[in-house]
Amino acid sequence: MNFLAPLAFAFAASIPVVIVFYLLKRKRVVKLVSSTLLWQKFLADTQASAPFQKLQKNWLLYLQILLLALAVLALTRPFFATTAKPAQLRVLILDGSASMQATDESPSRFERARTEALKWVDSLKQSDRMATSDQMVILLAGANTEVKQSATSEKAALRRALHACAPSDSPTRLVPALKMAESLVRDNKDAEIHLFSDGAVPELSDFENKALPLIYHKVGQRADNLGITALDARANPEDAKQRAIYASVGNFSSNTMSADLELLLDGQLLNTVPLTIPGGQTAPQVFKASQAKDGVFTVHLTGKDDLSADNEASIVSLLPKPVNVLLVTRGNRLLEKALRAVANVQLAVANDLTDAGAGFDFIVLDGVVPTAWPKGNVLAFRTVNTNWVESVAAVEAPVIVDWKSTHPLLRYAGFDNVQIVQSLTARAPTWAVSILEAPQAPLILAGDLGRQRIVWVGFDPLESNWPLRVSFPIFIANAVDWLNPANAKNSQLLIKAGDPFRLALAEPMKSAEVKFPDGSTKQLDLGTDAKEIVFGDTAKQGVYHLRAGTNEVTFCADLLDAAESNIRPRDELKFGEYTSVAATTVQRTNLELWRTLAAIGLAVLLFEWWWYHRRTV
């Protein structure tokens, strides 16, 4: 047994003091009586004239000595040392995602997780020799993984680090935190990773074969939550003067829940819709509203549930502007007609492009190799630029085997019964993704090459029956939306909470200012040659305002994550198909014994009190 405070043995000097009190003779009070006949025994006890009397057997004395001994031993803080076991490293990961703000734990899941982590800090073994002391690392897995405290055995520093942690409104991002923890414990076979979380994370397949020494501490009790999981604002297809606001609300509990969904424009209430959603179901909602100028639409759920971070979402709505499009073709009337049918498109037609396409929002190349390649966004049909793709080959009658229906270009557009006579194929470059596949190679590629957005279609629509299918005009309309620089800018104005916001600068600026959703501001110092502002302090959802010189930009950070709104605590974490880690039932170990000794001392004190009063009654 070792002692953390051996100097406390000095308090053992109080034990002889108690014994001396029992040796001292009692001070007698003189009383006048008529006879001493009845007081003989009392007189026998008062015969001694010395100041001390003989120590007699007294159970109260023994109990008091035992009580003092226990108190002194508790003050020395004894503990059992394991000299044969090397020092351990424990990496504590505190989940700081939005779901940890749920109030099914009191006062919240995050506070409960912090309390449990503090107990592990209290149980940390310390030694006079730092080389034999256990150490801990504190990581916060919020919008980004933060090292709150590097490896140390100082409990005060670890407690300060835990108290400095705070949850964010971002989705769960445990993979970077676990990768960092894995790198810290890789060369220490006795190390452990302790994760304090509700387990609301996607499958962690990156760690399927890593044998991660993970101990999962589950927090959370239930999943009573309504959450906004999707939000979009577009032109109303039935009335061009109105905007259509699409919202999706999910009920992630097992019970039917009710609430009101409010629509606001720049803080002014426009409409309220009552919702009653069965358990496990999602209710899509569409609002129609007039908008006279650019503004911010906000949808807000009124009602009580366990998580408030997903009860509100905002989106910047910019009024649509005309789209200037140049079609370079030798005579494709079907393509020209499809482009003119798209709302707000102002189309110009030419048979060649001799400049970079200045003055147009994007260029459509229809089987024409231009004299000058455009520098802006491009939709190219059977036109190859060797700077875009490699390994170009011609294929006769390619069979369409798959298409990426989740890509914005193919939204509501399918390729069933589409037949192609001949097409070019190319290997997918690093800047693009394949959205239409043949067995040989991709048929349609889309991506961003630098700041140029490109859609490459390997075949001529006139050499297929595609123009006769409804998917063709839908694809053209989607391409106009995707290639329009104004729409690309609009999409940048809505980010996930915790993701960085980027703004390209037309000219160098020395500083900028950001106004947060709570009204506070922050100054940004920019370099003299900065071409872009990257602002990453977006952990809280809401509306942000960025001012850089004469430019003022409003953008929104929202949660909008169905997986995060599903706050059901997980009993296990999935590491791939065959590996999982169950929530632990391990209790923390008290290495120190002073609490036990103090409890025994209290019991002795109560017994001594009872024994004394029993004798004197």
**Domain annotation for the chain: domains and CATH numbers:** 2-78 (no CATH), 89-221+569-582 (3.40.50.410), 226-310+560-565 (2.60.40.3230), 323-484 (3.40.50.880), 490-558 (2.60.40.1930)
State pLDDT tens for residues 175-226.
999 999 999 998 888 899 999 999 888 778 888 777 888 999 999 999 999 9
State pLDDT tens for residues 450-484.
889 999 999 999 999 999 999 999 999 999 989 99
The token pair at 325 is: 């499009």
Of 391 and 338, the one with more pLDDT: 338
Beta bridge partners of 449: 452
**Residue 386: per-residue pLDDT:** 75
Stated pTM of the model: 0.71
- The residue-averaged pLDDT of 49-53 equals 52
CA distance linking residue 310 with residue 252, whole number of Å: 12
State pLDDT tens for residues 261-312.
999 999 999 999 999 999 999 999 999 999 989 999 999 999 889 999 999 9
**Residue 39: per-residue pLDDT:** 56
- The residue-averaged pLDDT of 45-70 equals 64
Helix/strand/coil (H/E/C) assignment for every residue in 579-598:
EEEEECCCCCCCCECHHHHH
* Cα angle for residues 8, 12, 18 (degrees, 5° grid): 145
**Residue 201: per-residue pLDDT:** 81
Of 345 and 25, the one with more pLDDT: 345
Q: Give the position of tokens 């995050």.
A: 110
53: pLDDT strictly greater than 60: no
Q: Report yes or no: 420 and 400 within 8 Å, Cβ to Cβ.
A: yes
**Residue 343: per-residue pLDDT:** 83
Separate counts of helices (H) and strands (E) for the chain: 11, 33
**Residue 281: per-residue pLDDT:** 95
- From the list 119, 143, 178, 427, the residue with the least C-alpha distance to 309 is 143
The rounded percent of the chain whose pLDDT value lies above 90 is 53
**Residue 33: per-residue pLDDT:** 63
State pLDDT tens for residues 504-539.
887 888 889 999 999 999 999 887 778 889 999 999
State pLDDT tens for residues 146-186.
999 999 999 999 999 999 999 999 998 899 999 999 999 98
Supply the mean pLDDT for the chain: 85
- The residue-averaged pLDDT of 383-389 equals 84
Q: Give the position of tokens 């505190």.
A: 94
**E-strand stretches of 208-356:** 214-218, 226-236, 239-251, 257-265, 268-277, 282-290, 295-302, 312-317, 323-328, 345-350
- The residue-averaged pLDDT of 243-267 equals 94
- The residue-averaged pLDDT of 421-436 equals 91
